[in-house]
Amino acid sequence: MSATHQPTPLAKLEQKTIQEIILKGQRIDERGPLDYRPLTITLGIVEKANGSAQVYLGKTKVLAGVKIQTGTPFEDTPNEGILTVNAEFVPLAYPTFETGPPDENSIELARVVDRGIRESKAIDLQKLCIEPGKKVFVVFVDIYILDHDGNLIDAAGMAALGALVNAKMQEFEWKNNEVRYKETKMLLPMQNYPVPITSVKIGNSVIVDPCLEEEQVMNCRLTVTTGKNNDVCAMQKGGLGTFTPEEIKQIISSAIQKSKDLREKIISKVN
């Protein structure tokens, strides 16, 4: 059962400070409303994983790892590989993260990142078929939150994308009814690069990439995930507040624009 979250640890006075500064068009860390925090992406940090990426977005730290293994395809897609995304809100990342099965926030994050990758057809799943109807490659994307300072969805989405573009697998061929693995490695076949951009409403102002305190004070958030051709492939509103239709349209426009920069940053790391 989903329940109203416990209140923010910020005192009313601290909340007021943030709200007032936003009203002036500024932010507590001196960014502009459309500025992202300093972003550092490091690929290939876990050699045992097929692919991995570490994202530092301000003080938020997320690590994503990709493991590619074989498995049986789903009945309704016998010739397609499988994508599965999971997120762990590791207890060391924040004082109130607990051990145990994923809670609703972790599940929501994983599913939103999954939607971005899946609906944009980022991975060419057709190229992951080994034996039609019997054997395919399964791409496991595991998102590990290491330090929570806000905007976990964007950091996780970018880490997942970084891990995927960095992922390598054995080249293989299906010949004479059997699979043959070659010596050489190939990159995971990618054809799109989805980037989530999260905007947050505080009072009547909208800002992008909220830090933790901004998240704790927000009315609500809207994540818009865009692919390489400016097609939106996923959206998710969260939080107890509401948006007007006009605010939503504005957020979509600016998110599509913003995603271009971030996509460029991630792709350029591959080389």
Q: Which residues bind other proteins (CB under 8 A)?
A: 1-4, 6-7, 78-80, 102, 104-105, 107-108, 110-111, 115, 118-120, 126, 129, 132, 220, 222, 227, 230-245, 248-249, 252-253, 256
Q: Are 192 and 228 in contact (CB under 8 A)?
A: yes
Q: Which residues contact 163 (CB under 8 A, 6 or more apart)?
A: 43, 49, 51, 52, 53, 64, 65, 66, 141
Q: How far is the CB of 71 from other proteins (least distance, A)?
A: 16
Q: Based on CB atoms, which residue is closest to other proteins, 237 or 265?
A: 237
Cα separation, 158 vs 265, in Å, equals: 10
CB of 191 to other proteins, least distance (A): 13
Give 40 or 96: the residue with its C-beta nearer to other proteins.
96
Distance in Å, CB of 261 to other proteins, minimum: 17
Considering the complex, state which of residue 39 and residue 208 has its C-beta at the smaller distance from other proteins.
208
Which run of H or of E encompasses 186? Answer: strand 178-187
CB of 119 to other proteins, least distance (A): 5
Nearest approach, Cβ of 58 to other proteins (angstroms)?
25
DSSP summary character for residue 60? E
Cα-based distances in Å from 17 to 10, 205, 217, 218: 11, 14, 10, 13
Query: Judged by CB, which is closer to other proteins: 69, or 230?
Result: 230
Of 26 and 105, CB closest to other proteins: 105
Residue 148: φ, ψ to 5°: -100, 105
